[in-house]
Amino acid sequence: MAVDIFVNYQDWLDQQTMPKGQKAALVAAMTLFAERGFDGTATSDIAKQAGISQATIFKYYHTKQDLLVAVVKPVMSHFFPKYRDQFFAGLASCSTLEAMVHFIVTDRYHFIMANLEAVKIIVVELLTSSDIRQLLKALLLTDDTDFLAKLLELFRRMPALRADINAVDLLRIIAGQLICYIVQAHYVPGLLQGEQQDLSKLVAQIVREISQVELPDSEPV
């Protein structure tokens, strides 16, 4: 069976069999939610941007909150990748703690940059929307794969990993550092030195934080 590897939202949307008006609503909602925020965007604004009526929006989504969830769910589903087998296989092939962190950082960095509008919405709405927080929880703890448990299991193969690190710590440290870098790159790019150099430093910082012993800055993997 072919694996549905998600590259960016527009590519995913192009492959979906749904009415043209529904697709237009999703694209417009993503753009406006990213620019103005959820609370700062009215359904009339979305309808105008999409070139459809508000009635068309409510035909497919009963509330603006339902539309928000429809916009971000595909991206969230693939951030903790829907193609988990490939992601975990790549992680399992790494032979050092640094290589594992490098794999995750570069893999998810490119995913975030390809879906930057949606990621901006998710980061903001996680602070205020219980629906988005519940969606995140459901995606992390699925019936078929406990993403966090599998992540920790793979990292525990490395003796250098701190004994007190748990799965939530790993996710918080890696995702937190990566999101902070994305925010910095978006809002204060003048402080950055270049993507490859910055990501290498980011990897080194994460490795130092989760290691048993402090490691020196290293060359790019």
- Evaluate whether residue 216 is within a structural domain: no
**The pLDDT of residue 88:** 87
- Evaluate whether residue 62 is within a structural domain: no
- In this model, does residue 1 exceed pLDDT 50? no
Q: Which domain holds residue 135?
A: 72-210
Instruction: For residues 183-206, give the mean pLDDT.
Output: 82
Give the whole-angstrom CA distance, residue 72 versus residue 117.
10
Predicted structure pTM score:
0.69
Whether residue 71 contacts residue 32, with contact meaning beta carbons closer than 8 Å, is answered with: no
Q: How confident is the model over 76-97, as pLDDT tens digits?
A: 776 665 567 778 888 999 999 9
Q: How confident is the model over 49-66, as pLDDT tens digits?
A: 999 999 999 999 999 999
The total of other beta-carbon atoms located within 10 Å of residue 143's CB is 6
Q: How confident is the model over 147-187, as pLDDT tens digits?
A: 788 889 999 999 999 999 998 899 889 988 888 888 777 77
- In this model, does residue 105 exceed pLDDT 80? yes
The CATH number covering residue 124 comes to 1.10.357
- Evaluate whether residue 3 is within a structural domain: no
Give the whole-angstrom CA distance, residue 10 versus residue 22.
13
Whether residue 75 contacts residue 29, with contact meaning beta carbons closer than 8 Å, is answered with: no
- In this model, does residue 136 exceed pLDDT 90? no
Number of domains present in the structure of the chain: 1
